[in-house]
């Protein structure tokens, strides 16, 4: 099973601590990694088909305090598609003059939709194929960038279609919000004042967030499995879609 990490924040925030925890899990998920940082309308996208444990690109990300309000990261354990750069998540496409970023954990069987020229997969993964279909259907449903509420309603109709083909744990962002859908394993956490200390679950590393944050900071994290000890991670229910805006969760039901 691949591992996902998403972050949505009220103010631009770096994700070095959480990404270090995610990269530690690359011993079992060694088929590549990627991470995307939204900065205003732009995106910094780093991908490598080598393990995050060994990649110099991963070392760069661990030590580079890129501040963003929306981040999606993924470490891969290949199921469909060989180990190659074009099959490495997250994937990015443009729609309505905005970048969209997507990462998926799971395995979709028999999903072979008809795709038109605007959205075609470059690699051979079921994940990228699902993303292209999702972008195509969003383009059909809306003439321009919809509100977060409108887009959430559309995603609640579309994502179950994908989930019917297998396991669909996915993260999606256009820089305005972070959407997270769970089929099997996904957890979320909000950090807000008063901030405390946290220790990684897989690495001997801790951070005192009280010394690094201000009263306006709020950060929501989503991960396949909890990344830290001693923090109140909450498991998603199977079939649940959650939206995070400005570091706050939007409960949207199932």
What positions carry a catalytic annotation? 2
The single residue listed with the structure tokens 């001997």 is: 204
Residue (of 33, 39, 1) closest to 19 by Cα position: 33
Please list the alpha-helical segments (H only) found in the chain: 16-24, 56-63, 126-141, 148-163
Pairing relation of β-strands 3-13 and 197-200?
unpaired
| CA–CA–CA angle 24, 68, 94 (5° rounding) | 100
- Using alpha carbons, select from 21, 68, 3, 74 the residue that is nearest to residue 203: 21
In terms of phi and psi (left: phi > 0; alpha: psi -120 to 50; beta: otherwise), the region of 78 is beta
What are the b/e assignments for 193-203, b being 16+ CB within 10 Å? eebeebebbbe
């Amino acid at each position: 099973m691949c591992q996902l990490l998403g972050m949505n924040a009220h103010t631009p925030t770096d994700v070095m601590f959480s990404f270090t925890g995610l990269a530690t899990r690359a011993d079992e998920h060694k088929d590549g990694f990627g991470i995307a940082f939204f900065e205003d309308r732009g995106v910094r996208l780093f991908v490598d088909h080598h393990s995050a444990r060994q990649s110099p690109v991963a070392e760069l990300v661990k030590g580079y305090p890129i501040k963003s309000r929306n981040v999606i990261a993924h470490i891969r354990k290949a199921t469909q598609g060989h180990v190659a750069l074009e099959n490495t998540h997250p994937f990015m496409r443009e729609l309505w003059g905005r970048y969209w970023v997507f990462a998926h954990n799971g395995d979709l069987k028999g999903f072979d939709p008809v795709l038109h020229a605007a959205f075609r997969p470059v690699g051979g993964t079921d994940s990228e194929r699902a993303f292209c279909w999702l972008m195509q259907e969003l383009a059909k449903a809306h003439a321009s960038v919809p509100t977060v509420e409108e887009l959430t309603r559309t995603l609640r109709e579309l994502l179950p279609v994908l989930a019917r083909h297998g396991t669909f744990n996915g993260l999606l962002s256009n820089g305005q919000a972070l959407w997270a859908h769970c089929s099997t394993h996904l957890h979320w956490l909000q950090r807000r004042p008063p901030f405390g200390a946290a220790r990684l679950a897989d690495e001997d590393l801790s951070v005192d967030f009280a010394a690094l944050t201000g009263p306006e900071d709020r950060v929501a994290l989503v991960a396949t499995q909890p990344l830290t000890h001693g923090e109140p991670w909450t498991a998603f229910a199977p079939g649940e879609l959650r939206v995070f805006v400005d570091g706050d969760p939007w409960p949207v039901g199932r």
